[in-house]
Amino acid sequence: MSNSTVTHQSSVCYHCGDKLPAVKLNYDEKDFCCVGCQSVYQILAENNMCNYYAYNDAPGQRIKDEGHFEYLDEPSIITQLINYKDKENSMVTFYVPAIHCSSCIWLLEHLYKINPSIFSSRIDFLKKEVTISYKHERVSLRQVVEVLNQIGYEPLISLQDVVKEKGNSVNKQLIWKIAIAGFCMGNVMLFSFPEYFGLSALEKEFQYLFAWLNLAFCIPVTFYCSKEYFTSAIASLKQKHINLDTPLALIIAVLFVRTAISTIFNTGPGFGDTLTGLVFLLLMGKWVKQRTYHHISFDRDYRSYFPIAITSLKDNREKPVAISEIAVGDRLLIRNGELVPADSILMKGDAWLDMSFVTGEAEPQQKVLGEIVYAGGRQMGEAIELEVIKPASQSYLTGLWNKEFYKTDFKKRNFNDSIAKYFSMGVFLIAFAAAAYWLWMDDGTKAWSAFTAVVIVACPCVLALSTPFTLSAILSVFDKKGFYVKNTDAVEQLADLDTVVFDKTGTLTSTQNSEIRFTGELTTNERLLVASLLYNSSHPLSRQVLKVINPSKIYAITNYNEVVGKGIMGQVDGCMVYAGSMRGLPFEVGSVISKENGGVHIMIDGMYKGCFSVEQRWRDGIAPLINHLNEAYDLKVLSGDTNKDEQLLKAVFKPTTVMLFNQSPHQKLEAIKNLQISKKKVMMLGDGLNDAGALKQADFGVAITDNINNFTPGCDAILSGNSLSLLPKFIQLSKDGLKTIKISFAIATFYNLIGIYYAVQGTLYPLVAAVLMPISTITIISFTSLATRYFAKRNKLTP
User: 170 or 202, CB closer to other proteins?
Assistant: 202
> Would you say how long the chain is, in residues?
799
DSSP 376-390: T-EE-SS-EEEEESS
Q: How far is the CB of 102 from other proteins (least distance, A)?
A: 5
User: 183 or 410, CB closer to other proteins?
Assistant: 183
DSSP state of 66: P
In sequence order, the 6+-apart residues with CB closer than 8 A to the CB of 303 are 158, 159, 160, 163
User: 201 or 556, CB closer to other proteins?
Assistant: 201
Q: How far is the CB of 572 from other proteins (least distance, A)?
A: 32
CB atoms within 10 A of CB 202: 7
Q: How far is the CB of 141 from other proteins (least distance, A)?
A: 23
Q: How far is the CB of 25 from other proteins (least distance, A)?
A: 15
Q: How far is the CB of 720 from other proteins (least distance, A)?
A: 21
204 interacts with other proteins by CB under 8 A: no
Q: For residue 593, with 0-12 CB atoms within 10 Å meaning exposed, 13-18 middle and 19 or more buried, which class applies?
A: middle
User: 102 or 445, CB closer to other proteins?
Assistant: 102
Q: Which residue of 57, 124, 479, 620 would you call a contact of other proteins, by CB under 8 A?
A: 124
SS3 355: coil
SS3 177: helix
- x-or-dash pattern for other proteins, window 62-101, by CB under 8 A? ----------------------------------------
Q: How far is the CB of 21 from other proteins (least distance, A)?
A: 24
Among the residue ranges 18-26, 204-212, 619-627, 670-678, the one whose residues contact other proteins (CB under 8 A)? 204-212
Q: Quote the CA–CA distance of 462 and 472 in Å, as a whole number.
A: 15
183 interacts with other proteins by CB under 8 A: yes
29 interacts with other proteins by CB under 8 A: yes
Q: How far is the CB of 488 from other proteins (least distance, A)?
A: 22
**Rg, the chain, Cα only:** 33
DSSP 543-604: HHHHHHH--S----EEEEEEETTTEEEEEETTEEEEEE-GGG-SS--GGGS-S--SSEEEEE
109 interacts with other proteins by CB under 8 A: yes
264 interacts with other proteins by CB under 8 A: no
The separation between the first and the last C-alpha atoms of the chain, rounded to the nearest angstrom, is: 44
Q: Which residue of 22, 120, 176, 650 would you call a contact of other proteins, by CB under 8 A?
A: 176
Q: Which residue of 89, 140, 187, 720 would you call a contact of other proteins, by CB under 8 A?
A: 187
Among the residue ranges 72-80, 123-131, 527-535, 705-713, the one whose residues contact other proteins (CB under 8 A)? 123-131
Compute CA 243 distance to the chain's CA centroid, rounded to the nearest angstrom. 29
436 interacts with other proteins by CB under 8 A: no
Q: Quote the CA–CA distance of 333 and 326 in Å, as a whole number.
A: 12
Q: Which residue of 10, 64, 186, 607 would you call a contact of other proteins, by CB under 8 A?
A: 186
Among the residue ranges 124-132, 492-500, 565-573, 664-672, the one whose residues contact other proteins (CB under 8 A)? 124-132
Q: How far is the CB of 106 from other proteins (least distance, A)?
A: 6
User: 83 or 674, CB closer to other proteins?
Assistant: 83
Q: Which of 793, 242, 783, 791 is nearest to 465 (CA)?
A: 783
Q: Are 107 and 49 in contact (CB under 8 A)?
A: yes
Q: How far is the CB of 297 from other proteins (least distance, A)?
A: 17
Among the residue ranges 176-184, 224-232, 373-381, 621-629, the one whose residues contact other proteins (CB under 8 A)? 176-184
User: 91 or 213, CB closer to other proteins?
Assistant: 213
SS3 507: helix
User: 173 or 558, CB closer to other proteins?
Assistant: 173
Q: Residue by residue, what is the 3-state secondary structure of 192-226?
A: HHHHHHCCCCCCHHHHHHHHHHHHHHHHHHHHHHC
The phi-psi region of residue 232 (left if phi > 0; otherwise alpha if psi is between -120 and 50; otherwise beta) is alpha
Q: Which of 150, 128, 132 is nearest to 141 (CA)?
A: 132
Q: Which of 134, 151, 164 is nearest to 72 (CA)?
A: 134
Q: How far is the CB of 110 from other proteins (least distance, A)?
A: 9
Among the residue ranges 170-178, 394-402, 427-435, 687-695, the one whose residues contact other proteins (CB under 8 A)? 170-178
- x-or-dash pattern for other proteins, window 206-235, by CB under 8 A? x--x---x----------------------
Q: Which residue of 87, 172, 317, 796 would you call a contact of other proteins, by CB under 8 A?
A: 172
Q: How far is the CB of 101 from other proteins (least distance, A)?
A: 9
Helices (H), 633-718: 646-652, 665-677, 692-697
In sequence order, the 6+-apart residues with CB closer than 8 A to the CB of 725 are 619, 620, 621, 622, 624, 625
> Residues touching other proteins: how many (CB under 8 A)?
36
DSSP 667-689: HHHHHHHHHHHTT--EEEEE-SG
Q: How far is the CB of 638 from other proteins (least distance, A)?
A: 40
Q: Which residue of 64, 127, 517, 617 would you call a contact of other proteins, by CB under 8 A?
A: 127
DSSP state of 162: H
CB atoms within 10 A of CB 727: 21
Q: How far is the CB of 51 from other proteins (least distance, A)?
A: 4
476 interacts with other proteins by CB under 8 A: no
Q: Are 108 and 154 in contact (CB under 8 A)?
A: no
User: 122 or 331, CB closer to other proteins?
Assistant: 122
Q: How far is the CB of 125 from other proteins (least distance, A)?
A: 4
169 interacts with other proteins by CB under 8 A: no
Q: Quote the CA–CA distance of 323 and 364 in Å, as a whole number.
A: 24
Q: How far is the CB of 126 from other proteins (least distance, A)?
A: 5
- x-or-dash pattern for other proteins, window 30-59, by CB under 8 A? ---------------x--x-xx--xx----
Q: How far is the CB of 189 from other proteins (least distance, A)?
A: 12
Q: How far is the CB of 581 from other proteins (least distance, A)?
A: 43
Q: Which of 736, 748, 746, 751 is nearest to 786 (CA)?
A: 736
Q: Quote the CA–CA distance of 236 and 228 in Å, as a whole number.
A: 12
Q: Which residue of 1, 6, 170, 556 would you call a contact of other proteins, by CB under 8 A?
A: 1
647-676 binders of other proteins (CB under 8 A): none
CB atoms within 10 A of CB 678: 7
The phi-psi region of residue 700 (left if phi > 0; otherwise alpha if psi is between -120 and 50; otherwise beta) is beta
Q: Quote the CA–CA distance of 32 and 60 in Å, as a whole number.
A: 11
106 interacts with other proteins by CB under 8 A: yes
Q: Quote the CA–CA distance of 777 and 463 in Å, as a whole number.
A: 10
In sequence order, the 6+-apart residues with CB closer than 8 A to the CB of 53 are 7, 14, 15, 44, 59, 103
Residues in contact with other proteins by the rule CB under 8 A? 1, 3-4, 28-29, 45, 48, 50-51, 54-55, 102, 105-106, 109, 122-127, 168, 172, 175-176, 179-180, 183, 186-187, 190, 202, 205-206, 209, 213
